[in-house]
Each structure stands twice: as C-alpha cells, then as structure tokens.
C-alpha cells in the first residue's frame, strides 16, 4: 500500500471534518498525485456544504471523484493541483491539475490529470476548473465582434468570463455587482465595473452568475430585443421567481442554461476544454482573482463562510 492521506469530508450539512483515508498502490495507467493546492468552488460547494442539492440532481451534480452521496457524508470538490509522485515515466514529477476533492494525496487514472504548462504558476493553475466553466459559457454564447456584453455577478466565474470576453475584438464588457469593492478586480481584468442601477441597457448578451433572482431579473432588463441571457448560476433547491409579464415576450428574449458537465461543441472533448483553460491561464491578469491562502487544516472552518473570490488551500503547512 502507498499509505494514507488526509481528506476533507462533509459529514452532514454544515459540518466538515478532515479524516485519514487509505491510498491504494497505483496500478498500470494510474498516477499518485501529492497535492500542493486546492481551491473552493464557492457557488456549488457552498450549496453542497449547506445540503441544498435537490434530490432530483443528486446524480447530475456528482463531482468526477466524489465519494459518498448527497447530502452526506461525502467528499466533494474539483479544483486540485499537485505533482505526480508515482506513475508513467512521461508524467512522473510533472505538475498537474485534476478535478479531485480536497485531499492531500490521491490515486487516479493518468487520463484524469492535465499537465500544467510551464508558463502557468501552480497557484494560478487552481483556477483551471473555473476558467473551463467560462470557456464553456463562451462556447454556448458564441459572442461576435462588436457585441455589447454584460456580466452580472463579479465572483470567480463572472470575473473569469469577463477576462475572456475582453479578448474579443470590439466587445464592450461591463461587469455589474452590488459590491463596489469588486471594482478594482474587474478593472484589472480590463472590463468596466458598474453597480446594477448604472448598468447599460440594450445588451446583445448578458452572462448571469450572481445566483440570485434579482440578478437574473436585472439581466433580462439589460437585454436588447432578441438578446440572450446565459445563465451560469446554480440555485440548488432554491426557488427563483421572475416577472415575465413585461417585455420578455415582446422583445423575444432568451434565457439559456450553461453547465460545464456538457460540451456544446461536437468536435471538442473535455480534455480539449481543460487544456485550453490551462493555456489561457498563462495570462497573469488572472492572479487578481487569488485573494488569500490558508492551510488545509483550516478548511472545515473556511468552508462554512468561503471568500467570494479564489482562496488557496495549501497542503505544505503554510
């Protein structure tokens, strides 16, 4: 046996603990990864932590290497960066990203890890899963040169979407959030920050990431005729009420769900999308989304009230 690792478990809604888990010896085609960093996917993981996954979504919302079942006990998470300690020669010693829960070491198929490009710092690489979500949203939306686009919600996903949109020629990107403290982050990404009441209207596309009914309602209000809201929020078992009696029908507006568990581009694979996300993270502008770091031992407390942006979880005792 390879030995033991330490893993974060959701014991029951609102209660997280760290427990030892036994690691198997890697078999042919498998790797042992020693974790360096992980990060919390605030929206989804917060809902999981609070036990707000509806029973109808138990299977759909399973993480790739989840252990246990909703509402708990279970291991959940999917933003992990580490180094391959055992495995095929072409991966041995390589730094990799994996969609694995918070755990100090783990054994997975070699196909489940993606090598981190040389130009991407390991701290920044934990954002790969979030940037992958943003890539998927852009594939769903297919923005065009010159589009007027707003992102509602300046969390990790919203800011990642904005960072990618600013690369499109002629696209004017506004990011709307109720927290004025998000302005510096948004402006560093190259977008314009506005409070909801000051957001420009007649937008071709709106990406909604705030996970609130008010945010979704405001997103619809900002659209031009025949415009589309790309809905990236996940509400768990929460109910969302919308006022659709105004211009929703007369303006022929659309709400389109975007979910990273599927790919709208038939010629692309999950591996293609992840590799692209890591390549995009060569841009140091994404460092503005990393706002702090805590040791793994503090994760049970941190999970109860996670930061809005990316807070690193370190496994080296820092």
Same-domain check for residues 253 and 140: yes
| pLDDT given at position 2 | 67
Q: Average pLDDT in the 184-193 region?
A: 97
Same-domain check for residues 145 and 208: yes
Report the distance separating Cα 161 and Cα 280, nearest Å.
12
In a domain, 98, yes or no: yes
Same-domain check for residues 121 and 140: no
pLDDT digits (tens, 9 = 90+) for 10-66: 999 999 999 999 999 999 999 999 999 999 988 789 889 999 999 999 998 899 999
H, E, C per residue of 180-210:
HHHHHHHHHCCCEEECHHHCCCCEEEEEECC
Give all strands of the β-sheet with 254-257 in edge-to-edge order: 192-194, 172-176, 148-152, 203-208, 223-231, 254-257
In a domain, 39, yes or no: yes
**Sign of the alpha-carbon torsion through 40, 43, 49, 54:** negative
The encoded tokens of residue 60 equal 């759909």
Same-domain check for residues 291 and 232: no
| pLDDT given at position 216 | 96
In a domain, 271, yes or no: no
Same-domain check for residues 149 and 231: yes
Q: Average pLDDT in the 257-271 region?
A: 85
pLDDT-derived band at 239, boundaries 50, 70, 90: confident
Residue with structure tokens 């020669």? Answer: 89
Question: What is the reported pTM?
Answer: 0.93
| pLDDT given at position 87 | 96
Q: What CATH number does the domain containing 303 carry? A: 3.90.180.10
Q: Average pLDDT in the 135-158 region?
A: 96
pLDDT-derived band at 317, boundaries 50, 70, 90: low
Per the structure, the complete domain to which residue 231 belongs is given by 133-257
Q: Average pLDDT in the 128-133 region?
A: 96
Same-domain check for residues 183 and 101: no
| pLDDT given at position 10 | 96
Number of domains in the chain: 2
| pLDDT given at position 247 | 85
Same-domain check for residues 164 and 112: no
Same-domain check for residues 241 and 289: no
- The mean pLDDT of the chain is 94
Count of H helices and E strands in the chain? 8, 17
């Amino acid at each position: 046996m390879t030995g033991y690792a330490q893993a974060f478990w959701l014991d029951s809604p609102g209660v997280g603990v760290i427990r030892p888990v036994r690691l198997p010896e890697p078999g042919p085609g498998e790797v042992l990864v020693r974790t360096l960093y992980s990060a919390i996917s605030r929206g989804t993981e917060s809902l999981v932590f609070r036990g707000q996954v509806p029973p109808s979504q138990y299977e759909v919302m399973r993480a790739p290497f989840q252990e246990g079942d909703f509402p708990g006990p279970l291991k959940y998470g999917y933003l992990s960066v580490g180094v391959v300690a055992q495995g095929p020669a072409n991966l041995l010693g390589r730094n990799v990203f994996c969609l694995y829960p918070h755990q100090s070491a783990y054994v997975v198929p070699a196909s489940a890890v993606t090598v981190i490009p040389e130009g991407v710092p390991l701290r920044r690489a934990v954002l790969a899963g979030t940037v992958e979500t943003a890539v998927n949203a852009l594939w769903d939306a297919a923005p065009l040169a010159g589009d007027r686009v707003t992102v509602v919600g300046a969390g990790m996903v919203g800011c990642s979407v904005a960072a990618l949109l600013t690369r499109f020629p002629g696209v004017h990107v506004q990011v709307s959030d109720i927290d004025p403290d998000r302005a510096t982050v948004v402006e560093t990404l190259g977008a314009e920050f506005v409070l909801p009441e000051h957001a420009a209207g007649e937008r071709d596309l709106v990406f909604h990431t705030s996970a609130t009914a008010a945010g979704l309602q405001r997103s619809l209000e900002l659209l031009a005729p025949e415009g589309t809201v790309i809905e990236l929020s996940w509400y768990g078992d929460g109910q969302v009420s919308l006022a659709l009696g105004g211009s929703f029908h007369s303006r022929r507006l659309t709400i389109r769900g975007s979910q990273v568990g599927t790919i709208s581009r038939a010629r692309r694979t999950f591996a293609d999308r992840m590799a692209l996300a890591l390549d995009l993270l060569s841009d140091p502008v994404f460092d503005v989304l990393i706002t702090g770091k805590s040791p793994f031992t503090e994760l049970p407390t941190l999970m109860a009230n996670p930061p809005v942006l990316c807070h690193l979880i370190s496994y080296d005792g820092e």
